[in-house]
Homo-oligomer: A and B are copies of this chain.
Amino acid sequence: MTVGDLTERALIARIQSRLPPAPAWMPVGIGDDAAVVEPERNRLEVLTTDALVEDVHFSRAFTPPAAIGHRALAVNLSDLAAMGAAPRLALLSMALPAALPVADFDAIADGFASLAAAHRVHVAGGNLTRSPGPLTLDVTALGTVKPRRALVRSGARAGDELWVSGSIGAAAAGLQMLQASVEAGLDATSPVEAGLRVAAGLEACATRYLFPEPRVRLGTLLARNRAATACIDLSDGLADGVQQIAEASGVGAAIDASELPIDPAARDWFASRGRDPVDDALGGGDDYELLFAVRPRLRHRLAAAALHGGVPLRRIGVCTPGRAVLLRCGSIERPLPRGYTHFQ
């Protein structure tokens, strides 16, 4: 059975059956012309939208449907996290090829609903339509943050330290691994192949690509006591993130190559492909870690984020006067490689 065999209403009901009832602050939820929501008191609202388009952001050849649903929400929650906002609700708009199996549709909804439940994000509505081309998920997410606590990109000053959460490069390596397994004729979505990947130590990277964990807790902790002066999420890679913060803040940056928390399995993978692990880790997208600036005399404010943020934090460089964005390898400095850009 494919989604083309069902009505829009039947498909909406399949999504709704996976969601908890609307909370008291949402007096009208899915099913009317629009949802009605009580704003949270004494909070600013943070709004973002991001899309996943088949064969641009994922391939169904190696992305299990649950991962498609998970990632569509995760990339939006990551944007909220980068602003220090606690997520509250989301809207999901899907364009579905008529031949999409209903089982895949259900699994996409499961992936979305699971991550939503984990972060107490309520689905306030959505839209379903046929697609004559790619499967597309367009998500809008709304979060809240206390007044004057939102983390922007533009607050860094020369002298601020640059920190990054978790590790980088794993998602890019995972994507390469999944692509390579498809090119080798393997079925990347089969449990057997997954078992082989685990045995080869590759599963962790693939999982980082397929099921990124948005750093929601870390973001809200960084905002709560203004520990960070600027923040961005690494959707397009660390190099791009550093450039964006530097440009928005009107500063330069110097990143220490030896301090980069490159995922060890990713480092091995890149090296095995004859690539420079530092370049690939810096340029690779989809990490969804947070990059943020910290004023050195306020570094103690990082304590709560370091203790309770759920992910290690690493100082990787510093903001500099001037506008140059450099990578330091020992005594050698070179321009930081450019990150991923969408329309080239």
- A residues whose Cβ falls under 8 Å from a Cβ of B: 3-4, 6-11, 27-28, 31-40, 43-51, 53-57, 79-80, 82-83, 85, 89, 91-93, 95, 98, 124-134, 136, 138, 140, 142-143, 145, 150, 152-154, 231-233, 248, 341-344
Contacts and interface: CB of A to CB of B under 8 A. Distances in A.
Given A34-B47, A128-B342, 14 more contacts: A10-B343, A11-B343, A32-B248, A38-B45, A39-B39, A47-B89, A47-B91, A48-B91, A50-B127, A56-B129, A93-B138, A95-B136, A130-B342, A131-B133
A98 B53 CA distance: 14
B4 A150 contact: no
Contacts of A33: 48, 79-80, 82-83, 153, 231-233
A344 B132 CA distance: 14
Contacts of A3: 343
A55 B35 CA distance: 28
A28 to B, nearest CB: 6
Contacts of A140: 49, 91, 93, 140
A82 B34 contact: yes
A244 to B, nearest CB: 9
A240 to B, nearest CB: 11
B129 A57 contact: yes
14 contacts: A9-B341, A32-B153, A34-B85, A36-B150, A38-B44, A39-B39, A47-B89, A47-B142, A48-B125, A53-B132, A98-B343, A127-B138, A128-B342, A140-B140
Contacts of A34: 46-48, 79-80, 82-83, 85, 143
A80 B129 CA distance: 19
- Can you list the 8 inter-chain pairs with the closest CB atoms, starting with the nearest? A133-B133, A34-B48, A39-B39, A138-B138, A33-B82, A140-B140, A8-B342, A49-B91
Nearest to A150: B36
A68 B238 CA distance: 36
Given A44-B37, A45-B36, A133 B130 contact: no
Contacts of A55: 132
Contact of A36 (B11, B32, B46, B127): B46
Given A8-B343, A32-B152, A131 B37 contact: no
B47 A129 contact: no
